[in-house]
């Protein structure tokens, strides 16, 4: 059980770093784009600088940030309705949460397989982004990897919740 918890925590940190880097990238692109547009207005069009493909960059960075943040917060992101779980013991609550996370394992796996297929198709056809002509295959592969991390973390916490529910109370 300790090995599963350590693995999950390490993957959580990795996902948080990825999400943070993507958010910082989004912020940088947005700030630079806004500053260059303001500079254009201040100079009455004399300085015509801009960030080409800023909307495209922000959208793909947003994709990475959201997928990584979802994978980083699987054990904290569940809404529990106390009316249904009010009288249940902590062990039963942990088992119900573990079974619930199995649905996210399936969701992440389906997304991963779909994105991996899209990446293979994009690689074979030479698909690129619209504005910047960046190859789409690496973008899809990264997104598929983040969905795989989502599935893996959900699976780890589903196992912890269902199999080790009685021990999880004493550890946390």
Handedness of CA 56, 59, 62, 63 (dihedral sign): negative
If one compares 76 and 121, the residue with the highest pLDDT of the two is: 121
Range from 87-91, 116-120, 123-127 carrying the lowest mean pLDDT: 87-91
Give Cβ neighbours of residue 62 (< 8 Å, ≥ 6 apart). Answer: 22, 26
CA–CA separation, 140 vs 67, rounded Å?
12
84, containing H or E segment: helix 82-85
CA 95-99-100 angle, to 5 degrees, is 115
With 0-12 CB in 10 A as exposed, 13-18 as middle and 19+ as buried, what is 82?
A: exposed
Q: What is the mean pLDDT of residues 56-66?
A: 96
List pLDDT tens digits, range 17-52: 999 999 999 999 999 999 999 999 888 888 888 888
Split at pLDDT 50, 70, 90, the class of 118 is very high
Rounded to the nearest integer, the mean pLDDT of the chain is 88
CA–CA separation, 79 vs 145, rounded Å?
26
Split at pLDDT 50, 70, 90, the class of 123 is very high
pLDDT of residue 168: 47
CA nearest neighbour of 154 among 122, 92, 112? 112
Tell me the pTM: 0.83
Domains of the chain: which residue ranges?
A: 2-171
pLDDT of residue 83: 61
pLDDT of residue 108: 95
**Whether 15 contacts 67, CB under 8 Å:** no
If one compares 4 and 11, the residue with the highest pLDDT of the two is: 11
If one compares 2 and 169, the residue with the highest pLDDT of the two is: 2
């Amino acid at each position: 059980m300790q090995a599963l918890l350590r693995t999950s925590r390490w993957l959580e940190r990795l996902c948080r770093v990825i999400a943070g880097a993507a958010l910082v990238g989004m912020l940088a692109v947005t700030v630079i784009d806004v500053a260059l547009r303001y500079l254009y207005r201040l100079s009455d069009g004399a300085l015509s600088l801009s960030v080409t493909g800023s909307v495209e960059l922000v959208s793909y960075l947003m994709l990475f940030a959201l997928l990584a943040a979802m994978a980083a917060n699987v054990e904290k992101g569940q809404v529990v309705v106390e009316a249904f779980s009010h009288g249940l013991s902590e062990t039963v609550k942990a088992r119900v949460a573990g079974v619930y996370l199995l649905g996210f394992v399936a969701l992440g796996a389906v997304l991963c397989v779909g994105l991996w297929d899209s990446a293979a198709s994009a690689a074979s056809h030479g698909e690129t982004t619209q504005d910047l002509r960046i190859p789409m295959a690496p973008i899809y592969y990264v997104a598929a990897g983040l969905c795989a991390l989502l599935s893996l973390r959900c699976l780890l916490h589903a196992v912890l919740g269902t199999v080790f529910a009685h021990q999880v109370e004493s550890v946390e």
